[in-house]
Structures are given as C-alpha cells and as structure tokens.
Structure 1
Amino acid sequence: MALWLGITLIVVALIGGVAIGFYAARQYMMKYLKENPPINEQMIRVMMAQMGRKPSEKQVRQMMAQMNKFQDK
C-alpha cells in the first residue's frame, strides 16, 4: 500500500512540476519579449535605408503595425 502511495505522489509531483515550469517559462518569455521587442522602429529605418529607401514616418508606422499584427497572431 505504501508503494502505491509513493508512486502516486511521485507522479503528481512530476506533473505539478512540469505545469509550474511551463507556466513560469511562458511568463518569463512574455515579459522578455515585451521589454525587448524583436523589431523596433529604428531597426525598420535602418533596414529600409540599407535597401536604398528613405522611409517616411507613415511607412515606418505602417510596417510596425503590420509587425505587431503578425506578432499578436
């Protein structure tokens, strides 16, 4: 009887650890991406300048809106 109780507690602890670890990792990544977005307006300006274009502010904002829309999906 004590063997089954021990095995059950190990399995429950393993499942709980995986769930808590997943939740903690997800929260950490969401916070990290919010503080350090993958692409910002300055990066878009540099990228367009490297392609030989001088972007207007409207174009930069449109591209940021598209990036944010894509990131939310």
Structure 2
Amino acid sequence: MATGWVILIAVVALLAGVALGFFVARKYMMNYLKKNPPINEQMLRTLMMQMGQKPSQKKINQMMRAMNNQQQGK
C-alpha cells in the first residue's frame, strides 16, 4: 500500500513539474522575443543604409525571402 502512494506522488510531482516547466519556458521565450524581436523590413533597410547601400524594395524583399527560407530550412 505504501508503494502505491509513493508511485502516485511521483507521477503527480512529474506532471506538476512538466506543467510548471512549460509555463516558465513560455514566459521566458515571450520576454526574449519582446526584447529581441525578429528582424523586419525596417530593420533590414536601416542595416543596409548603415553599410552604405541604397536599399531598393526589390532587394529588401529578396533578402527577407532568403532569410525566411533559411529559417524554415532549419
């Protein structure tokens, strides 16, 4: 009978740990993405201007498409 309680407590603790870990990881990722947002067209345009290039909309679209394809390929 005591073994049954030990197993039950272990299973409940495992499930609670998994649920808690999920929510902590979710909160961490949301804060990380808020502080470090993924690159967008405006950031890319600014970066190209800082490098001394005159960004055209065609070039920005091409680079965004390449970055999205690379990200999906992982």
Same fold (TM over 0.5): yes
Structure 2, unmatched stretches of 5+, are none
**1:71 aligned partner:** 71
Q: Quote the Cα distance in structure 2 between the aligned partners of 1:48 and 1:69.
A: 20
Q: Spell out, residue by residue over 1:42-65, the C-alpha distance to the aligned partner (whole angstroms, 9 max, x if none).
A: 000000000000111111011111
Which residue does 2:15 correspond to in 1? Answer: 16
Q: How many residues align?
A: 69
Give SS of 2:54's match.
coil
User: Which moved further from structure 2: 38-47 or 56-65?
Assistant: 56-65
Deviations 1:13-49 (A, max 9, x none): 23323443455545x848x86xx85100000000000
> Which letter maps to 2:43?
M
Q: Percent identity?
A: 53
Given the alignment of the two structures, is residue 38 of structure 1 paired with residue 38 of structure 2, yes or no?
yes
**What is the CA distance between 1:6 and its match in structure 2?**
2.0
- Unaligned stretches of 5+ in structure 1? none
RMSD value, Cα: 2.8
TM-score by length of 2: 0.65
